[in-house]
Copies of this chain bind each other. A is one copy, B any other.
């Protein structure tokens, strides 16, 4: 059998209550007693039973982090930053929390199931990262879940996600629309008038906002968009590669390709190169996020930097109640345009 609190108590010749108090350090215990208990714990190699503790105390030390794709550094970086603030192990004693990353794979059902599982575990906090699905019934279901979680005392924070009104969740929203606009404006400023756009998956807020920003910029400069200039795909390299080929097929006269994110942009670059086009001489390329590899692309990628680490850290602190939530519960995080080698004046 595994060692229980009672065993420790017996060995230290105290009551179970005392052992519990020593372990939790939330009640005065005489130094000599504490000493004795600690020794017994050590000798017996006792490990607290988490579920029992959670049940009795009606609290848990679990913090959930939901990500769309854990293999994507975009999420990895945020998750890492969040986890860093959760303390996880490494934080000072007592505040030991198990930060767990849950990979939804972009599936609405999994997102919901994970939320239920976390609710079931009575998680102390939940951080949802990245764009939300825009499917109406699902959005409503998620909102309902978040409200429930909040009511049960779980702190809910959205990081890089639009606010969820009436759920009590705090939101750190990325200004995807603004970033998209700025990026395209940069390209327009260089002289581009025929711009292809590789969008992310449909029904995702991130996809829509970035695309809207792009279109705002076009509209602001009186550029009439050709419907053939937009292709939807996934947020990965391969998708960028294929979409670019498609774009080129539809309109070989494009002088710039704006991608939904950096991975897509890298795929796009590969497709352009293989099509015999030089970057940026023949076609300019732009990404979004400024992931670590973007600066190493050749030529280095023009993109919009999102402070993923900073935002994640802040979300983590808010989730832990260690930082004041933003006024109104909502804060907008801006991106910063990074002009690099992949964008230049259009070819004649």
Whether B119 and A103, one on each chain, are in contact in the complex, defined by CB atoms closer than 8 angstroms, is: no
Question: Which residues does chain B contribute within 8 Å of A116, judged by CB atoms?
Answer: 47
Q: Are B60 and A71 in contact (CB under 8 A)?
A: no
A123 CB, min distance to chain B CBs, angstroms: 9
Which of the candidate stretches A36-44, A189-197, A221-229, A266-274 sits at the interface with the other chain?
Answer: A266-274
From A79, which residue of chain B is reached at the shortest CB distance?
Answer: B70
Are A98 and B102 closer than 8 Å at their CB atoms?
A: yes
Q: How many residues of A contact B (CB 8 A)?
A: 65
Interface assignment of A110: CB less than 8 Å from any CB of chain B: yes
Residues of B within 8 A of A270 (CB): 295-296
The CA of A52 and the CA of B118, in the complex, are separated in Å by 14
Cβ of A242: which chain B residues have Cβ within 8 Å of it?
none
Does A15 belong to the interface (CB within 8 Å)? no
Partner of A60, one of B47, B51, B152: B51
Chain A at the B interface: SS class: helix
Interchain CB contact under 8 A, B117 and A237:
no
Alpha-carbon gap, A101 to B247, bound state (A): 38
CA–CA, A114 to B91, complex, Å?
Answer: 12
A337 contacts the other chain (CB 8 A): no
Which of chain B's residues have a CB closer than 8 A to the CB of A2?
A: 152
Cβ of A54: which chain B residues have Cβ within 8 Å of it? 50-51
Taken together, the copies of this chain in the complex come to 2
Given the complex, which residues of B lie within 8 Å of A84, measured CB to CB? Answer: 105
User: Which residues 84-101 of A sit at the B interface, judged by CB distance below 8 A?
Assistant: 84, 88-90, 96, 98-101
Q: Are B114 and A88 in contact (CB under 8 A)?
A: yes
Rounded to whole Å, the gap between the CB of A49 and the closest CB of chain B is: 7
A330 beta carbon closer than 8 Å to chain B: no
A73 at the interface (CB under 8 A from B): yes
Chain B residues positioned under 8 Å from A269 (CB to CB): 296
Which residues of A pack against B, CB within 8 Å? Answer: 2, 45, 47-55, 60-61, 69-73, 75-77, 79-80, 83-84, 88-90, 96, 98-103, 105, 107, 109-110, 112-114, 116-122, 148, 152, 236-237, 263, 266-267, 269-270, 273, 292-293, 295-298
Q: Which 10 A-B pairs have the closest CB atoms?
A: A89-B113, A100-B100, A51-B54, A298-B298, A101-B101, A50-B120, A71-B76, A71-B80, A50-B121, A51-B51
20 A-B contacts (beta carbon < 8 Å) = A47-B119, A50-B54, A50-B120, A50-B121, A50-B122, A61-B117, A70-B70, A70-B80, A70-B101, A71-B77, A71-B79, A76-B76, A80-B103, A98-B117, A98-B118, A100-B102, A237-B296, A263-B292, A269-B296, A270-B296
